[in-house]
């Protein structure tokens, strides 16, 4: 890696914090040996109305690790970074354009990016077609299988998957079918970075929240309706259910933190529910990381649906966590290959249900991986069976014994199509009607005639 230019692509502050932690942990070599460029992008539906990553509170704590900061949105304007990629025949021209615009000359380039399955990461990897690629994952999706096929000319260049060790001992499946090895980022490195960039956010919280009677419970919003998992009304009701669960657990001061990528749609349903319950609700609309909220408030409970922040609260800050609404999402989420299925499965399997169970105790993370690993591998196999055919015997044996205990994570139609335990038997009549089977039978009969 000596003497290369390292280009780091980040779409969120949390992603930038993750890759900065990896840099400080020594995963990208000594600071003096490389030129480092951070390229920020905003993949929100309307990026013009959002706050760019490099203008968010706390970014100045990350800035010293990089020689330059560039904007991908500005470079490819007027295209949207989530929807644009170069045509194959134009990739080399775009590489020349990037090298010229960023003064790269003929230097060797390394790429570090988030999800390699989607833009802008895929676009950048296509542009720098000869460069090694380091994939870093900041959430629970790293424990699931690769969503889309990665062509050989790209998967052969992926050096490793850097990931947060949110569930110690649980091995990520991401890119494993291509022989890419995972490498966990030390928890102390990411917590230290989050503490630094959270200093300004803590000041925002100090100004917004009263010195006494600060919230003791935190509710985490996501953007489930924006990605069509549930409707907007259902998502609003999901937040109301979180509020009621927090009140039921004895909390009178509650903070709601919407997801930064969620649409800014105002609804009074949450405020009305708070009035009815007699609790004080604070809605945090300022751009403050959830982890800053955890570190500053040290709440007694964090409630969410299947947000990765639930696990960072548990793994990094030892805060009790609980879930709401995962049952509905397990019924609704489609297709079965949806990458959100693994985060949803993990959270549903290991966190208490805030509406039914006793909450308020920290998770014993060290004991989770052994029980969780076979379930995650079975769900992952069912999601992408063609990519993980070597796992079939293992998954078949596990389902034969454990399916009755975990029926909510598997669809009968999927088990049937894969000929796995729990699926329906294939009827002879269905086979006779199958066009492919009929063609094969005709060929056999013709050969025997």
* Domain-located, residue 197: no
* Domain-located, residue 448: no
* Domain-located, residue 149: yes
Number of domains in the chain: 3
In 69-186, which residue ranges form alpha helices assigned H by DSSP? Answer: 72-76, 91-101, 121-127, 152-155
Distance CA 216, CA 205 (A): 14
* Domain-located, residue 277: yes
Beta carbons within 10 angstroms of residue 115's beta carbon: 23
Whether residues 52 and 114 share a domain: the answer is yes
Give pTM, 2 decimals.
Answer: 0.89
Buried b / exposed e over 307-325, threshold 16 CB at 10 Å, is bbbbbbbbbbbebbbbbbb
Whether residues 21 and 162 share a domain: the answer is yes
For 315, what's the count of Cα atoms within 13 Å in the CB-facing half-sphere? 24
Whether residues 156 and 214 share a domain: the answer is no
Place of tokens 């994570």: 409
* Domain-located, residue 195: no
Tell me which residue range forms the domain holding 391. 381-436
Burial of 233 (0-12, 13-18, 19+ CB in 10 A): exposed
Within 8 A by CB and 6+ apart from 297, the residues are: 205, 209, 214, 215, 216, 218, 255
Pair of tokens at residue 438: 């009929």
Whether residues 25 and 149 share a domain: the answer is yes
Whether residues 145 and 242 share a domain: the answer is no
SS3 112: strand
**Which residue, among 332, 380, 383, has the nearest Cα to 224 in the 3D structure?**
332
* Domain-located, residue 371: no
Distance CA 112, CA 110 (A): 7
CATH number for the domain including 131? Answer: 3.40.50
Whether residues 147 and 174 share a domain: the answer is yes
Whether residues 329 and 426 share a domain: the answer is no
Domain boundary among 335, 363, 391: 363
- Tens-digit pLDDT string for the chain (449 aa): 447 999 999 998 899 999 999 999 999 999 888 999 999 999 877 888 778 889 888 899 999 999 999 999 999 999 999 999 999 999 999 999 999 999 999 999 999 999 898 999 999 999 999 999 999 998 999 999 999 999 999 999 999 999 999 999 999 999 999 999 999 999 999 999 999 999 988 998 999 998 788 999 999 999 898 888 999 999 999 999 999 999 999 999 999 999 876 666 656 889 999 999 999 999 998 878 899 999 999 999 999 999 999 999 999 999 999 999 999 999 999 999 999 999 999 999 999 999 999 999 999 998 899 999 999 999 999 999 999 999 999 999 999 999 999 999 999 999 999 999 999 886 655 666 777 777 877 887 777 76
């Amino acid at each position: 890696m000596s003497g290369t230019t390292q280009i780091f692509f980040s779409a969120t502050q949390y992603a930038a914090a993750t890759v900065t932690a990896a840099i400080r942990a020594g995963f990208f070599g000594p600071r003096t040996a490389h030129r480092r460029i951070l390229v920020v992008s905003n993949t929100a539906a309307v990026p013009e109305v959002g706050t760019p990553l490099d203008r968010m509170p706390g970014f100045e704590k990350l800035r010293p690790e990089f020689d330059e900061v560039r904007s991908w949105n500005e470079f490819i304007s007027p295209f949207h970074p989530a929807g644009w990629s170069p045509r194959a025949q134009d990739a080399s021209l775009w590489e020349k354009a990037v090298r010229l615009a960023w003064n790269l000359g003929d230097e060797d380039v390394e790429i570090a990016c988030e999800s390699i399955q989607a833009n802008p990461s895929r676009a950048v990897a296509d542009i720098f077609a000869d460069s090694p690629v380091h994939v870093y994952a900041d959430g629970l999706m790293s424990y699931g299988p690769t969503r889309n096929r990665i062509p050989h000319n790209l998967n052969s260049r992926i050096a490793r998957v850097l990931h947060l060790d949110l569930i110690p001992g649980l091995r990520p499946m991401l890119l494993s079918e291509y022989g890419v090895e995972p490498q966990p980022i030390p928890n102390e490195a990411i917590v230290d970075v989050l503490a630094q960039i959270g200093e300004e956010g803590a000041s925002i919280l100090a100004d917004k929240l009263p010195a006494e009677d600060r919230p003791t419970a935190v509710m985490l919003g996501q953007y489930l309706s924006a990605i069509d998992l549930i409707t907007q009304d259902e998502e609003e009701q999901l937040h109301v259910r979180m509020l009621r669960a927090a009140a039921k657990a004895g909390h009178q001061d509650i903070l709601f933190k919407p997801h930064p990528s969620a649409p800014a749609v105002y609804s009074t349903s949450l405020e009305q529910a708070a009035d009815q319950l007699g609790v004080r609700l604070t809605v945090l609309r300022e751009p403050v990381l959830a982890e800053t909220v955890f570190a500053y408030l040290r709440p007694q409970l964090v409630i969410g649906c299947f947000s990765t922040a639930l696990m960072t609260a548990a793994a990094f800050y030892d805060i009790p966590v609980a879930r709401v609404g995962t049952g509905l999402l397990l019924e609704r989420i489609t297709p079965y290959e949806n990458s959100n299925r693994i985060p949803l499965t993990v959270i549903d399997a290991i966190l208490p249900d805030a509406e039914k169970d006793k909450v308020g105790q920290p998770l014993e993370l060290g004991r989770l991986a052994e029980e969780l690993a076979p379930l995650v591998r079975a769900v992952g196999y069912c999601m992408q069976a063609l990519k993980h055919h070597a796992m079939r015997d293992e998954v078949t044996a596990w389902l034969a014994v454990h399916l009755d205990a975990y029926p909510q994570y598997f669809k009968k139609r999927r088990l049937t199509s894969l000929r796995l335990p729990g699926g329906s038997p294939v009827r002879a009549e269905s086979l006779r009607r199958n066009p492919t089977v009929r063609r094969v039978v005709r060929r056999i009969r013709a050969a025997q005639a």
